[in-house]
Amino acid sequence: MIEDALKILGGPAEVRGDVPKELFAWPYVNEEIENAVLDVVRKNKMSGTDITEQFEKAFAAWQQRKLGVAYANGTLALQAAMFAVGLGAGDELICPTKTYWASCLSASQLGASVVFANVRRDDLCLDPEDLERCIGPRTKAVMVVHYCGHPADMDPIMEIARKHGLRVIEDVSHAQGGRYKGRMLGTFGDVAAMSLMSLKSFSCGELGMLVTDKREYYERAMAYSHYERNNEKYVYETRELLPYHNLPLGGMKGRVNQIATAIGLIRLRDYDERIAEIRRAMNYFLDLMEGTPGFRPIRVDEATGSTMAGWYSPQALYVAEELGGLPIGRYAEAVSAEIGIRLSTGANFPLHTHPYFRDIDLYHAGKPTRILFAERDVRKLDEALKASEDIPCISIPWFVKYLPGEIEKYAAGFKKVSAHYKDLLDGAENDGTGGHWYAAVN
Ligand SMILES: *Cc1c(COP(=O)(O)O)cnc(C)c1O
């Protein structure tokens, strides 16, 4: 064995032996959680709403909003958010093209059209400078995604939204507990909605949450998919909804399995503490990585009061030019071998490149669903999205425990590949995983 050769070329791996389990143990399970789950099962409360209502109140308070509604998953919470702000047939929803599909796909259920905006390379979030390009006479709302834990640049986004009278929905699925200039994410928009599924940093199993300060949005969100709560106890102020009590207005059943909300109540007790630990560990790793050729951390300037919360699916940018043009996929492959974690590249693929947004005719209406009721062919606007295609990002390990000695080994794995890049240049044609979504940790 050649002692300092890259693992992928026959040398020893940089991370060897046992890795302490707590370095990546997420989501954590403890006895309190186990007992809470068993209690729901033993009392056959899975389909009740008592625990869910407790969680809604507690979560909304933690999220610094007045009202909260839980859903069976984040996808439905986001759909309810669209309905809540009044998105309807012919309206347009602006959404960054690089996000998980659930940020916008269900706009089709409401007859609305999605207009995609570019994301910025340095934060992978909606580029405020691209926002006005997307606005047309029928633009109703903007979906802002705090992508891969990074807070979107809310000051200019809110300013433009206000100027044009647009509603703002925040998708906080990747960033529960994060801050933008000191203010909690999820408190900027008219409504915020998010996933709390198992892999997210706020992890409860299949569960979604919607929060808002406005009674009307809450009532519309509740009526949309909670048939057993679409009644005078919850929905009494929004006049146009009153005749329609006792049916879910979108025909969706959003009730939550209370195993998830029981877990959520316990998570709330120490989530802030846990994400502080993640922040310490991730910042330590990225401090070590500063200046590594080919590698650019994607992080916030904490001096401004912004934070990355739970660092869900953390990413870095890869700069091939600094490593002789070494393709990103080959770099990822080599680092993965050093550290024993399969890294992915490209994060989510840009949604506008999918045929769904060109021609699918879901309702057999003789017209692509995306523009079914549209006043303009919003597909033409996709031509301006080249900047969001092929963004060379690479997933990085998600350290959830501050164990400096261990974290140093992972940084050394990346640095080793950067130092030995020339050994990889021959015949390297790996362009990466191209936006397929892999969990960052084996
Ligand atoms: C996970 C995710 C969702 C969807 O949530 P589910 O709970 O899986 O339905 C929505 N938006 C983003 C950005 C996500 O990552």
Ligand 1 and 103: CB distance under 6 A:
yes
Ligand 1 and 201: CB distance under 6 A:
no
Q: Give the tokens for residue 358.
A: 């060109």
pLDDT for 426 equals 81
**pTM reported for the whole predicted model:** 0.96
CA 400 to chain centroid, in Å, comes to 18
pLDDT for 432 equals 72
- The rounded distance, in Å, linking the Cα atoms of 248 and 236 is 15
Residues of the chain with CATH 3.90.1150.10: 7-27+271-347+391-424
Mean pLDDT by 10 residues, the chain (442 residues): 85 95 94 98 98 98 98 98 98 98 98 98 97 98 98 98 98 98 98 97 97 98 98 98 97 97 98 97 98 97 96 97 97 98 96 97 98 98 96 97 98 98 82 53 35
pLDDT for 428 equals 62
Other beta carbons within 10 Å of 305: 12
Residue type, 426: D
SS3 label, residue 68: strand
Q: What is the DSSP string of 323-391?
A: GTT--HHHHHHHHHHHHTS---BSSSPPGGGSGGGTT--TT--SS-GGGTT-SS-GGGGGGGGGGGTT-
258-289 and 404-419 helices cross at what angle (nearest 10)?
Answer: 60
Judge residue 130's burial from the number of C-beta atoms within 10 Å of its C-beta, 0-12 exposed, 13-18 middle, 19 or more buried. Answer: buried
- The rounded distance, in Å, linking the Cα atoms of 127 and 121 is 9
Ligand 1 and 171: CB distance under 6 A:
yes
DSSP 213: S
Q: Whose CA is nearest to atom 6 of ligand 1?
A: 74
The CATH code of the domain at 7-27+271-347+391-424 is: 3.90.1150.10
Ligand 1 and 208: CB distance under 6 A:
yes
Centre of ligand 1 from the C-alpha of residue 168, in Å: 18
Centre of ligand 1 from the C-alpha of residue 81, in Å: 13
How far apart, in Å, do the first and last CA atoms of the chain sit?
Answer: 26
Centre of ligand 1 from the C-alpha of residue 120, in Å: 21
pLDDT for 62 equals 98
- The rounded distance, in Å, linking the Cα atoms of 367 and 372 is 6
Exposed e or buried b per residue across 237-260, where buried means at least 16 C-beta atoms within 10 angstroms of its C-beta: eeeebeeebeebbbebebbbbbbb
Q: Where are the beta strands (DSSP E) in 4-148?
A: 67-71, 92-96, 113-117, 139-145
Q: Is the peptide bond before 248 cis (omega within 30 degrees of 0)?
A: no
pLDDT for 438 equals 42
Residue type, 236: Y
Residues of the chain with CATH 3.40.640.10: 31-265
* CATH architecture assigned to 31-265: 3-Layer(aba) Sandwich (3.40)
Centre of ligand 1 from the C-alpha of residue 95, in Å: 14
CA 101 to chain centroid, in Å, comes to 10
pLDDT for 408 equals 98
Q: Whose CA is nearest to atom 7 of ligand 1?
A: 74
What element of type H or E holds 32?
helix 31-42
Q: What is the DSSP string of 214-251?
A: -HHHHHHHHHHH-GGG-STTT--S-GGGGGGTTS-TTS
pLDDT for 90 equals 98
Q: Give the tokens for residue 150.
A: 């990074």
Judge residue 98's burial from the number of C-beta atoms within 10 Å of its C-beta, 0-12 exposed, 13-18 middle, 19 or more buried. Answer: buried
pLDDT for 4 equals 86
Other beta carbons within 10 Å of 145: 28
Judge residue 183's burial from the number of C-beta atoms within 10 Å of its C-beta, 0-12 exposed, 13-18 middle, 19 or more buried. Answer: middle
Look at residues 178, 182, 189 and name the one whose alpha carbon lies nearest to residue 148.
178
pLDDT for 101 equals 98
- What order do you get walking across the sheet with 295-297 strand by strand? 295-297, 315-318, 393-395
Centre of ligand 1 from the C-alpha of residue 105, in Å: 11
Angle at 28 between CA 23 and CA 34, to 5 degrees: 150
pLDDT for 352 equals 98
Q: Give the tokens for residue 211.
A: 């929060």
